[in-house]
């Protein structure tokens, strides 16, 4: 890393730190959102272990019990049971594990594809840029949910297939944001300095320009995580997402559609859990955008 790069990175960190201290409201939003997301992650990791949840266990004699009921084995059904006697709270914890795991895996795959395409399109320009961006425009012409449903219907229900489907549907956002950032950075002084010193294209792309794209990519990933989790729930709701043996919030909500009048809790509680997580991730992404956007910082 050259001296010019180190100086610019140090100035950027100092500026962000001062902005963060001067904006306690934004800091509070970020901290609150991180706490809520951390609770979801901890519940997804340790919740099914602590509750001893078994996805295939059914107890028909204890079906459709309201929240706060006591089961025959003495356990407490905090959120009630569903139409086949499964504990709803345990299902929500297990669904959180599936949704968050699918969301993170999708972001890794979609981010890898989109960032590489965006780096190449922005750096080389010309026919490479035209080809990749026209491919992105063609995909944007199709609604992402319809494209995901079509591909999922062809591939069949599977966790891996859902990750592939959602990655195909969401790489464009990463590519466009990365390309825009590369177009801004590739003519900066420190990039020209590295080029003058004899740096190859690979070094310029991945060592010099890519670090300057991390902030906007992080913001996009935070917002897209909520959208991916919502899409996964939509696919599972329609029956083309994860298999039945892997509990998902979408499949649980779907199972409660026929019992809204008598057992409203089956669809309500998973829906509330899903809504809180998606809204929190959206607020976190919005707060990070406010922090890293130079125009908003100047205001």
Q: Where are the beta strands (DSSP E) in the chain?
A: 69-70, 76-77
Cβ-contact 272, 88 below 8 angstroms: no
pLDDT, tens digit, 9 for 90 and up, residues 182-201:
998 888 888 888 888 888 88
77 φ, ψ to 5°? Answer: -90, 95
Region at 81 (left for phi over 0; alpha for psi -120 to 50; beta for the rest):
beta
pTM: 0.80
Q: What is the pLDDT of residue 277?
A: 92
For the ranges 4-13, 43-52, 174-183, 263-272, the lowest mean pLDDT is seen at 4-13
The fold adopted by the segment(s) 26-54+75-298 is MetI-like fold (1.10.3720)
CA distance 25 to 296: 14
Nearest-Å Rg of the Cα atoms of the chain is 23
Q: What is the pLDDT of residue 151?
A: 79
- Tell me the β-bridge partners of 117: none
Q: What is the pLDDT of the chain when averaged over all its residues? A: 81
Q: What is the pLDDT of residue 11?
A: 47
| Burial readout 256-276 (b: 16 or more C-beta within 10 A, e: otherwise) | beebeeebebbbbbbbebbee
Distances (CA, A) of 185 to 180, 192, 193, 213: 9, 10, 13, 9
pLDDT mean over 143-156: 79
For the ranges 30-39, 58-67, 133-142, 274-283, the lowest mean pLDDT is seen at 58-67
pLDDT mean over 269-290: 88
pLDDT, tens digit, 9 for 90 and up, residues 116-134:
999 999 888 888 888 988 8
Q: What is the pLDDT of residue 52?
A: 58
pLDDT mean over 47-57: 62
Four-residue CA torsion sign, 216, 219, 225, 231: negative
Q: What is the pLDDT of residue 276?
A: 93
For the ranges 55-69, 123-137, 152-166, the lowest mean pLDDT is seen at 55-69
Give the three-state DSSP class for 157.
coil
pLDDT, tens digit, 9 for 90 and up, residues 243-266:
777 778 888 888 888 888 888 888
Q: What is the pLDDT of residue 62?
A: 78
- Whether residue 3 is predicted with pLDDT greater than 70 in this model: the reply is no
What contacts 69, CB < 8 A, 6 or more positions away? 62, 76, 77, 80, 81
Burial-class residue 96 by CB neighbours within 10 Å (0-12, 13-18, 19+).
Answer: buried
- Whether residue 32 is predicted with pLDDT greater than 70 in this model: the reply is yes
pLDDT mean over 225-249: 84
pLDDT bracket for residue 113 (50, 70, 90): very high
Most confident of 24-33, 79-88, 99-108: 99-108
- Whether residue 109 is predicted with pLDDT greater than 90 in this model: the reply is yes
Long-range CB contact pairs, 140-143, < 8 A, 24+: 140/172
């Amino acid at each position: 890393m050259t001296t010019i790069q180190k100086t610019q990175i140090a100035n950027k960190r100092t500026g962000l730190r001062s902005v963060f201290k001067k904006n306690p409201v934004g800091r509070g939003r970020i901290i609150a959102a991180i706490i809520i997301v951390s609770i979801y992650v901890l519940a997804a990791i340790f919740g099914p272990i602590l509750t001893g949840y078994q996805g295939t266990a059914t107890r028909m004699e204890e079906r459709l019990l309201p929240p706060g009921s006591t089961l025959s084995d003495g356990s407490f059904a905090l959120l009630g049971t569903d139409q086949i006697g499964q504990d709803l709270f345990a299902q929500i914890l297990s669904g959180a594990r599936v949704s968050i795991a699918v969301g993170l895996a999708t972001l890794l795959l979609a981010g890898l594809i989109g960032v590489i395409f965006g780096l190449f399109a922005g750096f080389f320009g010309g026919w490479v840029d035209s080809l990749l961006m026209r491919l992105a425009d063609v995909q944007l012409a199709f609604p992402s949910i319809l494209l995901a449903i079509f591909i999922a219907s062809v591939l069949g229900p599977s966790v891996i297939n859902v990750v592939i489907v959602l990655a195909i549907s969401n790489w464009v956002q990463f590519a466009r944001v990365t390309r825009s950032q590369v177009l801004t950075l590739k003519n900066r002084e420190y990039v020209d300095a590295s080029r003058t010193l004899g740096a190859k294209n690979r070094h310029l792309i991945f060592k010099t320009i890519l670090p300057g794209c991390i902030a906007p990519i992080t913001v996009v990933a935070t917002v897209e995580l909520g959208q991916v989790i919502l899409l996964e729930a939509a696919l599972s709701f329609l029956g083309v997402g994860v298999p039945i043996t892997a509990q998902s919030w979408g499949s649980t909500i779907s199972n409660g559609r026929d019992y809204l009048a008598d057992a409203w809790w089956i669809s309500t509680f998973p829906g509330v859990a899903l809504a809180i997580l998606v809204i929190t991730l959206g607020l976190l992404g919005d707060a990070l955008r406010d922090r890293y956007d130079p125009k908003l910082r100047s205001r």
